[in-house]
Amino acid sequence: MTTDLFGEIAIHPGRRIAGRLVDVLATPSPDTFETAPVARLALGFEGVPGDRHAGFIRPAGGREPWYARGTEIRSGRQLSIVSVEDLAEVAAAMGLTEVAPAWIGANIVIRDVPRLSFLPAGTRLFFDGGAVVVVEGQNAPCRFAGAAIARRTGAASAELGFRAVARRLRGVVASVERPGAIEAGGAVAVKIPEQWIY
Amino acid sequence: MTTDLFGEIAIHPGRRIAGRLVDVLATPSPDTFETAPVARLALGFEGVPGDRHAGFIRPAGGREPWYARGTEIRSGRQLSIVSVEDLAEVAAAMGLTEVAPAWIGANIVIRDVPRLSFLPAGTRLFFDGGAVVVVEGQNAPCRFAGAAIARRTGAASAELGFRAVARRLRGVVASVERPGAIEAGGAVAVKIPEQWIY
């Protein structure tokens, strides 16, 4: 990989990775935290219509301590994307057979993209059929996810354990750049943008 | 600056920089490319109401060669942010006394933030009064800006020259995360996110 220099800043060029779309999921209603597999995910500009995280605007929460809780802010959290490999690492660290993407509210499950949770902001995922989503940032484990794992596995320690173990392995959040329907089993072209350290 | 490691990935921690808001500008109508200074910029979730680049959705153009021109996509280009220092460097390289932010359609002019054009995606700018915008990416020089400079300065070579010279010095594009009104002369707290090279 060649690196350009601009003054003292080293610019790492963009590149592409090929992944697979393993599963697509949505919340059965906006009140549910866990998701359930669906035949297809119809992505609109607002995310997954009817899903808990659909919408352009959301109330600020614990992840944004610089806002008063409940402040209306732009939502960059329409979609939760996780990888088979990262969740397997989480499960192993917790002594569990699996951590199912549905338990932690994932919408899109991908494999073959190494360290998916580190895909930088601005990464584009191109799906079969034309839908494109843009990574907004690393997702942070929340207590809802830990509680769901505890409930599903009977491992009471999971409620707090998940938060510590899943840090940097819990996938990314993303917005829809170009709407379209996506189905499990297809290809995903992952376009990493140029990067540098500011 | 300490750097954490996650496996082989070096994580550079987030940090804050203090800048100054020098000027705020908007297009007089959606048909104009050049902006003009305004007393205050009332930022809504859609950007600057009535400005050329306001809106959640925009047609794809030459910057997104992976879409057919005109395809409706999410807009991450509501705001153009430039720095006094970067534009002084552009002007010097072009042999001009100045490149005015208005000529190239800037909305927000900042000083005291080194290499502003390299603020990474996910950087938040907190303005006096509560408005917050999020950097979406580096802006790329376009022919409109070069043409405007040529018209304003009489330097015919500027039309093409700007594109080459202003690469990586043309500022960033941003979205509004929290609406609010901003006025020239205030402070800007720049919050750089964690970074790593994927």
Instruction: Give the chain B residue nearest A121 (alpha carbons).
Output: B121
**Of A4 and B115, the one with more pLDDT:** B115
Structure confidence at residue B50 as a pLDDT band (50, 70, 90): confident
Percent of chain B with pLDDT over 70: 99
pLDDT tens figures, A75-110:
989 999 999 999 999 999 999 999 999 999 999 999
The answer to whether the CB atoms of A9 and B115 lie below 8 A apart is yes
* CA proximity to B82, closest of B100, B94, B63, B96: B100
Cα angle vertex A80, ends A94, A164, to 5°?
A: 30
Q: Is B195 touching A (CB cutoff 8 A)? A: yes
State chain A's mean pLDDT as an integer. 94
State the pLDDT at residue A156: 87
Exposed / middle / buried, residue B11 (Cβ in 10 Å: 0-12, 13-18, 19+):
middle
Nearest of A86, A80, A138, A78 to residue A104 by alpha carbon: A80
Give the nearest partner residue to A71 out of B66, B120, B178, using CB atoms: B178
The pLDDT score that the predictor gives to residue B140 is: 87
Number of other CB atoms surrounding residue B48 within 10 Å: 23
Look at residue B51 in the predicted model and tell me its pLDDT.
87
A115·B196 Cβ contact <8 A: no
Amino acid at B140: A
pLDDT band at A122 (very low <50, low <70, confident <90, very high): very high
Q: Which domains does chain B have, with CATH numbers?
A: 13-196 (2.40.33.20)
Please write the tens of the pLDDT for every residue from B17-33: 999 999 999 999 888 88
Torsion from C-alpha of A55, A167, A115, B116, nearest 10 degrees = 70
Q: Is the ipTM of this complex over 0.90?
A: yes
Q: HSE-up of B120 (CA within 13 Å, CB side)?
A: 28
Cβ within 8 Å, pair A118-B66 = no
Q: Quote the minimal CA–CA distance from A192 to chain B in Å.
A: 8
A178 and B7 within 8 Å at the Cβ level: the answer is no
Handedness of CA B146, B150, B152, B153 (dihedral sign): positive
- pTM of the model as a whole: 0.94
